[in-house]
């Protein structure tokens, strides 16, 4: 690698540090991805909890800083990962904009509400700071291929789809909204059906029908996460059915075939089932950051993408009728 960028992680929790370890095969944390990828030098963690920050710094063999200010005073920092809980994304992103840095890798959702997101977008544009949002399925080659095949018309027109999720419309449903925007296109209308407060007090999981600008619709159904965690959905096209299961770790493809039972009928038949590289999404995101900084490759999930997913989520929440 011709260039070396210094990295700081703010938030030494699960996604920042603890979902995996240096010896793990899967690359699930920001710390693992930046440690693995040549071209980056992970300097350390900032965390409001000294205990967690120290534990993470020990695990990944890097420093612990008690604040963002301390980190920037001591070192030159090029890239910062924001891995704090959703409600602190805005304040941490805003604070970071006062420091000299090249790029922020921000966990989803961009912020807690559209107003905060608009302010962040304006500030980052004014200060010329790049930002990649971690809607992880955008960094998975199998989903990139799916998006391209949909766009090329290979599967025919999109007809409809449906899926299950829980843990909040913004917190988790926004992954689904972003994936649908990425593969199918813009959502121009929606109707909320019902909701459950299954995870956050201020982020209900809303069930809704989404309507796409280019036609077709999608029913997203909330499943309260106290039963189990589910993130699965399917997309039906004129000549293909795609099922995305196991949170996106697996894809099933169905083709249209002549029915063996009913003469003249056509059915869908499962022709392929394969694993995706979702376990490497974090590494692929970090590669995208490197390629953006060095070769100006487009960022695969922009501030605008983060904002558009949030706008739909906020609309869905506004559409629910409280008893
Ligand atoms: N992209 C994905 O698929 C994915 C998966 C999991 C989590 N996430 C996102 O990552 C974020 C973190 O989730 P998590 O499960 O790792 O949370 P976590 O609670 O495990 O960790 C968050 C850490 O941030 C620290 N913290 C809180 N406020 C802080 C502040 N102001 N400054 C510095 N440190 C602070 C906490 O002490 C904690 O150690 C969430 O926004 C979540 O939505 C994304």
Rounded to the nearest angstrom, the gap between the alpha carbon of residue 241 and the centroid of all alpha carbons in its chain is: 23
- Report yes or no on 200 lying in a domain: yes
Which domain, by its residues, includes 176?
A: 141-276
Q: Which two tokens stand for residue 142?
A: 């199998």
Task: Give the number of other Cβ atoms within 10 Å of residue 166's Cβ.
Answer: 23
Distance 151 CA to ligand 1 centre (A): 34
In this structure, are 288 and 251 located in the same domain?
A: no
Residue-wise pLDDT for 106-124, tens only, equals: 999 999 999 999 999 999 9
**Residue whose token pair is 């390629």:** 291
What local confidence, expressed as pLDDT, does residue 41 receive?
97
Q: Are residues 12 and 109 located together in one domain of the fold?
A: yes
Closest C-alpha to ligand 1, atom 21:
13
Find the 107 Cα to ligand 1 centroid distance in Å: 8
Residue 79 is assigned to a structural domain of this protein: yes
Determine, yes or no, domain membership for 204.
yes
Residue 32 alpha carbon to ligand 1 centre in Å = 15
Closest ligand 1 atom, CA of 86?
41
| Same domain? 11 vs 121 | yes
Quote the pLDDT of residue 100: 95
Measured by CA distance, the residue closest to atom 18 of ligand 1 is 13
Pocket of ligand 1, candidates 9, 10, 11: which has the most ligand atoms within 8 Å of its Cβ, to mutate?
11
**265 and 224 within one domain:** yes
* Same-domain check for residues 19 and 119: yes
Q: Domain with 148 in it: what CATH number? A: 3.30.360.10
Low-confidence ranges of the chain (pLDDT < 50): none
Residue in 13, 50, 81, 306 to alter for ligand 1 test, most ligand atoms within 8 A of Cβ: 13
Does one domain contain both 118 and 153?
no
Residue of 10, 14, 67 to mutate, ligand 1, most atoms within 8 A of C-beta: 14
Whether residues 259 and 163 share a domain: the answer is yes
38 within some domain: yes
The residue whose CA has the least distance to atom 5 of ligand 1 is: 15
For the record, the structure tokens of 101 come out as 């840095």
Any atom of ligand 1 within 6 Å of the Cβ of 52: yes
Q: Are residues 148 and 57 in the same domain?
A: no
Q: Does 107 sit in the ligand 1 pocket, CB within 6 Å?
A: yes
Beta strands 266-275 and 250-258 are: antiparallel
193 with 269, same domain: the answer is yes
3 state DSSP class of 129: coil
In the prediction, which pLDDT does 3 show?
A: 74
Q: Which tokens is 173 given?
A: 């449903």
Q: Based on the domain organization, do 199 and 127 belong to the same domain?
A: no
Percent with pLDDT over 70 in the chain: 99
Ligand 1 center–CA 20 separation, angstroms: 15
Q: What is the CATH number of the domain that holds 40?
A: 3.40.50.720
Cβ of 13 below 6 Å from ligand 1: yes
203 pocket-lining for ligand 1 (C-beta < 6 Å):
no
Q: Which of 99, 165, 196, 86 has the alpha carbon at shortest distance from 133?
A: 86
Same domain, 15 and 87: yes
Residue nearest to atom 6 of ligand 1 (CA): 15
Q: Is the CB of 48 under 6 A from ligand 1?
A: yes
Q: Each residue of 285-322: b (16+ CB within 10 Å) or e?
A: bbbbbbebbeeeeebbbebebbbbbbebbbbbbeeeee
Structure confidence at residue 321 (pLDDT):
74
pLDDT digit string, tens, across residues 62-108: 999 999 999 999 999 999 999 999 999 999 999 999 999 999 999 99
Q: What's the rounded Cα separation, in Å, for the pair 44 and 318?
A: 40
pLDDT at 2: 64
Structure tokens that stand for 305 in this block: 């993408």
Domain count, the chain: 2
Query: Which numbered atom of ligand 1 lies nearest the CA of 11?
Result: 24
């Amino acid at each position: 690698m011709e260039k070396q960028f210094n990295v700081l992680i703010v938030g030494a929790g699960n996604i920042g540090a603890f979902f995996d370890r240096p010896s793990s095969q899967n690359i699930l944390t920001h710390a693992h991805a930046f440690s693995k990828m040549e071209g980056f030098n992970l300097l350390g963690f900032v965390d409001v909890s000294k205990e967690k920050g120290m534990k993470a710094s020990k695990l990944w063999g890097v420093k612990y800083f008690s604040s963002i200010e301390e980190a920037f005073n001591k070192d030159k920092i090029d890239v910062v990962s924001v891995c704090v809980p959703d409600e602190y994304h805005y304040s941490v992103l805003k604070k970071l904009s006062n420091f000299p840095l090249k790029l922020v890798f921000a966990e989803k959702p961009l912020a807690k509400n559209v107003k905060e997101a608009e302010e962040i977008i304006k500030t980052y544009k004014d200060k010329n700071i790049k930002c990649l949002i971690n809607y992880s399925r955008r960094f998975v080659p199998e989903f990139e291929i799916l998006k391209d095949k949909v766009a090329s018309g290979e599967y025919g027109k999109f007809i409809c789809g449906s899926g299950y999720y829980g843990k909040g419309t913004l917190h988790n449903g926004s992954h689904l909204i972003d994936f649908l925007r990425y593969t199918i296109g813009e959502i121009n209308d929606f109707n909320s059906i019902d909701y459950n407060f299954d995870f956050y007090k201020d982020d209900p999981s809303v069930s809704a029908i989404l309507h796409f600008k280019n036609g077709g619709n999608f029913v997203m159904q909330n499943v309260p996460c106290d039963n189990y965690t589910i993130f699965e959905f399917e997309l039906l096209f004129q000549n293909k059915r795609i099922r995305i299961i196991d949170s996106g770790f697996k894809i099933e493809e169905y083709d249209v075939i002549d029915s063996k039972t009913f003469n003249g009928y056509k059915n869908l038949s499962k022709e392929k089932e394969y694993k995706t590289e979702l376990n490497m999404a974090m590494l692929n995101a970090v590669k995208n950051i490197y390629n953006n900084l060095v070769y100006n490759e487009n960022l695969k999930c922009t501030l605008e993408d983060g904002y558009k997913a949030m706008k739909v989520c906020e609309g869905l929440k506004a559409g629910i009728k409280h008893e």
